[in-house]
Chain A
Amino acid sequence: MSEREIIEKKSGEHRETANTSHEEQINLLQSITMEVAAASDLSSALEIVLRRVCEKTGWELGQAWVPNRDKTLLVCGPVWFCGEADLKHFRAVSEKSHFQPGVGLPGRVWKSKQPVWIEDVGDDPNFPRTKAAKAVGLKTAVGIPILTGDEVIAVIEFFLCQSRSENERLVNVIASVAAQLDLAIERRTAAEELSRTNDILRSVLSNMGDAVIVADKEGKFLVFNPMAERMFGTDALQMPSNEWSHRYGLYLPDKASLFPHDQLPLTRSIRGEEVNDVEIFVRHEKAPKGLWTRVNGRPLRDLNGELLGGVIVCRDITPIKEEEFFRAGQSRVLEMIASDAPLADVLTSLVLLMEGQAEGLRCSILLLNRDGKHVRHGAAPNLPEVYVKAVDGAPIGPRNGSCGTAMYTRKPVVVTDVMTDPLWADYRDLARISGLNACWSTPILSPQGEVLGSFAMYREEKRGPRPEEARLTEIATHIAGIAIDRLRQQETLRERDARISFAAESADLAFWVIYPEQNTAWMSDKGRVIYGFDSKLPLTRELLVSRVHPDERAAVRAAFDRACASHGIFESEHRLVLPYGKTRWVIVRGRCLEDEHGSLLELIGVTIDVSAQKESDLQLQIQREELAHLNRVALMGEMTASVAHELNQPLTAIANNASAARRFLERGNVDPLLLPQLLQDMVADSHRAGEVIRGIRALVRKDKSVVRSVLNLNAVIADTLRLVSSDVLLCESVVTTEMDHNLPQVEAAPVQIQQVLLNLIMNSLDAVEALPPAERRIIISTRSLNGESAEVSVRDFGTGLPKDRPDKVFDHFFSTKQTGMGMGLTIVRSIIETHGGKISAENAPDRGARFFFHLPAARGDSKSQAA
C-alpha cells in the first residue's frame, strides 16, 4: 500500500472515528498487539501504535516522546502523519522541543501518569508549541502515558485539526492499545536482556584463559570454547566419550597411559559427580611436547535437579608443572650430591636438567684442575665428544674461550658469536666442531669464593642470555658449586681419614663410641679385630666389658661408671680375653662428650693393643733374669778360690776326723771321751759344708732370685764378704767395712743385692790386683740418707774409671777386663733400678774408683730407723 493510498483511506474514515464500534476496538487492539509483538524494538513498536491509532481514528498526527537517559526531560520520538495539512512544520518544532515533567502536554502526562485531553491547543496556557500548532491548524490534542509498572517509558500524543470535547471511550481505547505496547516492550526487553547476557557469556567463554566444555547427558558438546580448541588441538568433535582420550590426546601423569575414559572429569561430571583438581597431560599434533591441565567438573542440572549434562573447566598449568619438575630435578641433583653419587653423574644430571628447561639449549660444566691453571672435563652430555676431549686439559687465561676466560677472570663471559669474538681466536676450529655460535660461561665458585669450574650455555642463535637463561645459570652454578666443593671437602676428609686409619691400623688402635642412652656402641673395624667382634655384631657397652679379663672386669666396669657419672675421663690398662682364650693387653682411654645442655651424649675412646709391647717387656724381663743368672754363675766361676776353700775346709776336717777315728779303733785304744767329740765335730763340719753349698745354690738358682723381703743391708754385706773371704785372701787384699748402724731397712731381693755386692767387690779386687799388697785396700761403707734411703759405697784405690765418663762402665759390653763379658755392671744397674734405686760411679778425689748405690727405705721403716 502506497503512502497516498493510506492517506486516502484515512481521510475516508474520519467521520467514523467517534463511532468506532466496540468490535472494531477489539479488532484494533488485536491487530496492534500482534504487530507490536513482532516489533524488534521500542521505536518500531511505538511507530506501529501511532500509525494504527491514526489510521483507525482518523486523527491527523501522532507522535511519541521518550525520557532521556537520566530521565529529566522528554525528547521527541517517532511520528506518524496522516492529514493533508502540512504538519511537517509542527513536527520540526516538536523535534527541537523537549519537556520537563509537568511542562506542555507530554510533560503533564509524564508527571501525572494520566491521559490529558486538550480541546483546543490554541487556548491552552501550558502548551509551548501553540504557535506552531495554530500555524498548521491543529486544535484537539490527547496525551497518553505508556507505563511499565509505575514508570513512564513513553508518552504518545495525537492531534486533530477540529476542536472536539473529551471522548472518554477513545481515550480508553488508546490507553488499552498503549498497555499492549507496554507488555510488548517488557517482553522485548527481557529478550534483549537475555541476548545481551548471552553475548557477554559468549565473549567471556571466547576470551577466558581456561578451557570450558559443556556436554549433555549423551556426551554431545554444547560448549567448547576457543581455549578448549586451543588446548585440545581441535574444535568440538562429536564422538562417543570412550574415544575422547585417544582423540584429544589425554594421558595420565605418567605421560604414556591414555586417561581411562570413565575417569575423565567430563564423563564423571555428566554422571553427576563433582570433580576437583584432576591433572591431565595433553599431547597432540599441535602440542607435541605436551601440556598439563588441571580440570574441575560439575554436573549440570535443571531447576528440578534433573541431570542435564556436565561442565568442565580446564586450566593450563604447564608452567607451574614445569617449575615443579624443575624444582624436583634440582632436588634430585641435590639428593645425588647428598648421597655421594659420583661427581660426573651429578654434573651430567645437572646439565641435562638445565638443557630440559629451554628449547635448543646445550650446557657444559668444566672443572678447574687443582693446579688452578688447567680445565678438566666435568659434564657435557650433548656436546660432540671430539669437542669435549679437545677442551679437557686446556689452559685457562684472559683469552681462552668463554670458559677458560671466565675461570681466569672470575667473571661471567658472554660471547654472542664465537666465530668473531677475539676470546675464541684460538678455539674457532673447536667452535666449528660444536656447531654452536653463542657461548655464555659463568665461573662456579666455592662458598669461600675459590674458583671451582665453569658452567656454560651454548646456542645456535647468535645472541646473549635471556632473563630465564640467566636464572638457570644462577641455579646451575650454585648447585655445581655445592657438588664440587663437597667432593673436594670429601677428598680432603678421605685423605685425612686414610691417614688416620692408616695410623690407627699401624698402631693397633681401636676407636669406639658408647651411647649410654641408647645402650649401643660403635667400634672401628680394627677395634672389632682387637676385641674379637664379628664385623656385623651390634655392640653394647656390656658386650665390650664382657671381653675384659674376669679378674679385672669389675674394676673396669666401675671405672666406666665413674667416668659416666662425672662426665670425666676413663683410663685403664687391662687384659682382654678373646673367644678361643686368646689374651690381649690393652690400654684404654675414654672421654665423655656432653650436648649443649650438659647432658651426657656419648663416651668416646681409643683402645691400644699393647700385647706385643707387654710380651717384649716380659721377654726383656726374662732375658734380664737370664743374664743376671748367667752373671751369678760367672761370678761363682770367678770366686773359685772362695768356693773351693769354703768347701774344702769342712770336708778336710771331716775326712781327717773320720781317718783318726778309724785309726783309734784299729789300735783298740779308743778314748771314750774323744770319740763323741770327734763325731760331733764331723756333724758340725758337714753342716758347715751344707751351708756353703746352700749359699752357692741360692746365688746360682734361677727361681726365687727375685723374691723380695725387708733387709738390713749391713747384714747382706757381711754375708757377702764371708762368701768372698778366700778370694780377698788369695788376692792378699784387705776389705774394710764402715757400717752405719742406723741404716734404714730396704725391701729387696737378697740374692740380687748379694749379686750387686759380689760384682762390685770382685771388680775392686781386680782393680787393686796390680798394686803392691800393702795398697790392696777396699772400703765398703753404708750410710742413711735422711732415713729415706740406704746408701752403700764400695771404694778401691786402683787406677780409677775412664776420666771423661765414669758412668760409661754401666754400658753394655764395657769391660776393662780381658775375660769379662762387660755385662756385670749393666746387670747391677738394672737390678738397682728395678728396686727403685740408683747407682753411680765416680773417681775418688785422691785415687781409685767409688761405686755407690742407694735403695729406698722399706715402707714404714724410714722414721723408726731415722729416729
Chain B
Amino acid sequence: MGDRAICMTSSEKSDAEIVCLVDDDLSVLKSIERLLASDGLSVRRFNKPKEFLTYVQAHAVPLVVLDIWMEEMSGLEVLAQLGALSPSTRAIIITGREDPTVKLTAIQSGAVAFFTKPFDDHQFLNAVRGALALHPIE
C-alpha cells in the first residue's frame, strides 16, 4: 500500500521529473525507489524491461535507471533500443557484476553513469540529479 502512496505522490509531479526504474529484482527495485523518494524524486518502476520499452514510446522519459542482468532482456539490449525509441532519454546503468566489457558497451551506447551494486547513495543521487539537470546535493 505504501508503494502506491509513493507513486501517487510522484504522479502529482510532471513527467519530466519522473525517473523510470527497470530491474527484475523487486526488492532492489523498491529500495532504489525509496532512495530516490527520500531525495524528493518521483519514480516509475518497471519489473519487466519490455513494459518500460512500451511506456517510453508513449511518454517523455528524461531518465531511466537500468539494470543489466535481467531474465527477459538484458539492460544493454534495452539501452540499444532506447536510442531508437527515445533518444532524449538518459540512462544510468546499475549492475550486480563488475564487467569492463559491459561498462564500455553501456557508455558507448550513451549511458550517462554506470554503478556496480551496491553503490554509494550520495554519488548515485548526484548522478540522477545531474542527469535531470537539477542542482547537485551539496
Contact = CB atoms under 8 A, between A and B. Distances in A.
A648 interface: yes
A645 B34 CA distance: 21
Interface stretch (A177-185, A322-330, A526-534, A651-659): A651-659
Given A653-B27, A664-B38, A659 B121 contact: yes
B74 to A, nearest CB: 7
B12 interface: no
A626 to B, nearest CB: 31
Most buried by B among A667, A673, A677: A677
Given A641-B97, A649-B27, A684-B27, A673 B35 contact: no
A661 interface: yes
Interface stretch (A301-309, A724-732, A857-865): A724-732
Given A651-B117, A674-B34, A730 B69 contact: yes
A671 interface: yes
B38 A663 contact: yes
A182 B117 CA distance: 176
B97 A653 contact: no
Contacts of A644: 96-97
B85 interface: no
B71 interface: yes
B69 A726 contact: yes
B5 interface: yes
Contacts of B113: none
A688 interface: yes
Interface residues of A, number: 33
A652 B96 contact: yes
Nearest to A665: B38
Given A645-B97, A729-B71, A657 B31 contact: yes
Contacts of A684: 27
A649 B25 contact: yes
Contacts of A677: 2
Contact of A671 (B2, B35, B94): B2
A652 B117 contact: yes
B81 to A, nearest CB: 16
B100 interface: no
B123 to A, nearest CB: 11
Given A651-B117, A673-B2, A685 B27 contact: yes
A650 interface: yes
Contacts of A641: 69, 97
B80 to A, nearest CB: 14
Nearest to B27: A653
A376 B96 CA distance: 97
A660 interface: yes
B37 interface: yes
Interface string B30-46: 11101101110000000
A655 B30 CA distance: 12
A441 B27 CA distance: 116
Nearest to A674: B2
Interface in B1-36: 1-2, 5-6, 25, 27-28, 30-32, 34-35
Given A648-B96, A652-B118, A681 B38 contact: no
A305 B110 CA distance: 164
B118 A661 contact: no
A631 B117 CA distance: 29
A711 B76 CA distance: 40
Given A651-B118, A671-B2, A663 B35 contact: yes
A343 interface: no
B65 to A, nearest CB: 11
Contact of A645 (B35, B39, B96): B96
Contacts of A661: 34, 38
Interface in A164-221: none
A656 B94 CA distance: 13
Interface in B74-123: 74, 94, 96-97, 117-119, 121
B37 to A, nearest CB: 7
Contacts of A678: 34
Most buried by B among A649, A664, A677: A649
A684 to B, nearest CB: 7
Given A641-B69, A684-B27, 13 more contacts: A652-B31, A652-B96, A652-B118, A653-B27, A656-B118, A657-B31, A660-B37, A661-B34, A663-B38, A671-B5, A681-B30, A729-B69, A729-B70
Interface of A: 641, 644-645, 648-657, 659-664, 667, 671, 673-674, 677-678, 681, 684-685, 688, 726, 729-730, 732
30 contacts: A641-B97, A645-B96, A648-B96, A648-B97, A651-B117, A652-B96, A653-B28, A654-B118, A655-B121, A656-B28, A656-B34, A656-B118, A657-B30, A657-B31, A657-B34, A660-B38, A661-B34, A662-B38, A663-B35, A663-B38, A663-B39, A663-B121, A664-B38, A667-B38, A671-B5, A674-B6, A681-B27, A685-B27, A688-B27, A729-B70
**Which 8 pairs across A and B sit closest by C-beta, in order of nearness?**
A663-B38, A656-B31, A659-B121, A660-B34, A652-B117, A653-B31, A648-B96, A652-B118
